[in-house]
Structure 1
Amino acid sequence: RRFGCDTLILDDGFQYLPLKGRLNLLLVDKTNPFGNQHLLPRGILREPIKHLSRASYIFLTKSDGTQDDALLELIREHNPKAEIIECSHQPQYLQAIDGGARLPLDTLKGAHIAAFSGIASPESFENMLRGYGAEIRYNHRFLDHHRFSRGEIQHVYDQADEAELDMIVTTEKDAVRLFEDIKPKIPIYFLRLEIDILSGEEDFEGAAARICLPRNTSAQMTRPSFISENS
């Protein structure tokens, strides 16, 4: 209210039950939708699968475009009305952490690199790097949302330097948590990703319009081909 905002967008707000949101967006990793279907700590779920019923829109992320009838049937069993939108992560380029050089992805071919990340699915990030021909000689996985200490980052940099590697690569999400005054001796980049909507583009536009446009407007949104992912 202080800044005149009429909309709040929350990350991880779905499982905060006291929050009465106007719109619930649920992301489901298509490569591992519900794990063993058990809740933490026995499984990976924060809520029972039946709570799919609270979603307004369901995004199937990391999709390769193939139809998974069993997954769609399970979703529809618990939520017959939510719009389902399929999307994939598309690497774009390597961006220097300091905002300088932007390198094409083929720079990774044959490169000996160090990789580190603090995300939920580090395997996906690492497989992308290998898919473009990189050889990961040093790798460090931190927990999701890990808040790096200065010592941890310095250790990663030292290991990469001692191994005489070509570069260090991390995620854009992790890059913003680094320390400006701690610099490695070799180049460091983050892998820029964007989201490609594979199916349900009109439904995505509808969701974005409901979130971003004033409730009393009939303005039309410009149809995007890519949507940036920064989380």
Structure 2
Amino acid sequence: MSQQSHNLWLDAWYGKRRWTFVLLPLMWLFRLIASARRFYLRRFAQHILSVPVIVVGNISVGGTGKTPLLIALVKHLQHQGFNPGVISRGYGGHADHYPLVVTSATDVKESGDEPLSIFQQTGCAVCVDADRVRGARELERLGCNILLSDDGLQHYRLGRALEIIVVDGQRGLGNGFCLPVGPLREPMSRLQSADFVVVNSAQQPLSLPVTQTYAMRIVPHAWHSLIDGQAHPVDYFSRGNKKSVNAVAGIGNPRRFYQTLAELGLQPVEHDFPDHHAYQQGDFSFAESLPVVMTAKDAVKCRDFAQPDWFYLAVGAELPDCFWHDFDVKIAGLKP
């Protein structure tokens, strides 16, 4: 799907356009098939592992901020004395063999952007495999005593002890309909069966069919040079006359990144790319000669041809104390 076509669908799902409603019969067929598939997999084909599995996912198409939350969860579990491992589909990557355990020598073309970024930011074991059950068993073999699945909420073959669903606080659940009429992979009622519903960067209260949600903020930490990794404070570009930048975003919701840049006092010249885009040097032939800024997820694919004035923004997920308290209570109740 081209970026233009992708944006056309997003405008309909998250905007005020209504042309997708002619697809209502397809939506009901989609829901019927998805419901039957979920019942069959959970009842007859689900694999329960010997270690707890936490799924961090969403019910909507597009980025919701799952990866910063997953990284925060990994670091929290490491601090608590666990040896966590991360299972990932590895979108955009193509390896010669699976399961693929990510190392410092792994090429992003093999692993995909998110698994490599998670490994670099946490140092935990990360396994890439479209068969998440097989990937999880590999992490078990490596000695991980708790697993986190990056996405995979609808991968019901993999049993799970906890489910955390992330909702984009800026776009919400769009028009509230399932694919292809709306952006939902499962109906809104699916939120009620999750252990935690986390709302990322909400600008106003969302109407969701759950009694408890947890607010999350994505907080900028520092700028890092793609060339040598040198860190700079978040106001590095907003000082003096450096405010204009070429902003590159190949993520699910580029608007969130651009908004963060504006909040930091920058004037971004926006350059959208498809999610998980495989960057090439020619993608950066911009009309204006300005510093280039991007996300950490984009940066792992650009280091081989990066220039001295290219930087990525390191961010972190901030959640309220009540979330961590409730999360620790849940974890304590899981079987070893």
Q: What is the rounded CA distance, in whole Å, between the counterparts of 1:213 and 1:153 in structure 2?
A: 47
Q: Could you list the runs of 4 or more consecutive aligned residues of structure 1 that deviate by over 4 angstroms after TM superposition?
A: 208-216
Distance 2:288 2:323 in 1: 48
Q: Match for residue 274 of structure 2?
A: 143
Shift of the 96–212 alpha-carbon distance from structure 1 to 2, 3 Å rule, reads farther
What is the total number of aligned residue pairs between the two structures? Answer: 194
Question: Partner residue of 1:190?
Answer: 312
Check if 1:116 corresponds to 2:248: yes
Scaled by the length of structure 2, what TM-score is found? 0.52
Is the strand fraction higher in 1 or 2? 1
Say which SS state the counterpart of residue 126 (structure 1) adopts.
helix
Residues 179 and 99 (structure 1), Cα distance of their counterparts in 2 relative to 1, 3 Å cut:
closer
What residue number does 1:163 align with? Answer: 288
What residue number does 1:88 align with? 217
- CA shift digits 1:92-148 (9 cap, x unpaired): 2211123433222222224221111111110110111122222223x32122233x1
Tell me how far 1:7 sits from its aligned partner: 2.3
User: Given that residues 226 and 306 in structure 2 are in contact (C-alpha distance below 8 angstroms), is that contact kept between their aligned partners in structure 1?
Assistant: no
Per the alignment, in what secondary structure is the counterpart of residue 21 of structure 1? coil
RMSD across aligned positions (CA): 2.5
> Which residue pairs with 1:104 in the alignment?
233
- Deviation, 1:208, is 4.9
List alignment gaps of at least 5 residues for structure 1. 217-231
Tell me which amino acid in the other structure corresponds to 1:195: A
Amino acid at match of 2:217: S
Question: How far apart in 2 are the matches of 1:175 and 1:202?
Answer: 33
Give the partner amino acid of 2:252: A
Per the TM alignment, residue 29 of structure 1 is displaced from its structure 2 partner at its CA by 1.3
**Amino acid across the alignment from 1:89:** I
Residues 209 and 108 (structure 1 numbering): CA distance in 2 closer, same or farther, change over 3 Å?
Answer: farther
Question: Which protein is richer in helix relative to its size?
Answer: 2
Q: Do 1:118 and 1:143's aligned partners in 2 also have CA atoms closer than 8 Å?
A: yes
Counterpart among 141, 151, 170 of residue 12 in structure 1: 151
Change (3 A) 1:23 1:86: same
User: What CA distance in whole angstroms lies between the structure 2 residues aligned with 1:208 and 1:95?
Assistant: 32
**What aligned pairs does 1:177-216 form with structure 2 within 5 A after superposition?**
177-180=301-304, 182-184=305-307, 186-197=308-319, 199=320, 201-208=321-328, 210-211=330-331, 215=335
The CA distance in 1 between the partners of 2:227 and 2:329, in whole Å, is 34
Aligned-residue offset at 1:10: 0.6
Measured in 2, the distance between the counterparts of 1:45 and 1:101 equals 40
1:49 aligns with 2:188: yes
- Contact between 1:170 and 1:190, CA under 8 Å: does it hold in 2? yes
The amino acid of 2:258's aligned partner reads E
- Identify unmatched segments of 5+ residues in structure 2: 1-139
TM normalised by structure 1 equals 0.73
Kindly provide the amino acid, as one letter, of the partner of residue 175 in structure 1: A
Question: How much identity, in percent, do the aligned residues show?
Answer: 26
Distance 1:188 1:34 in 2: 34
2-side partners of 1:114 and 1:153: how far apart?
Answer: 16
Q: How many Å separate the matches in 2 of 1:213 and 1:105?
A: 39
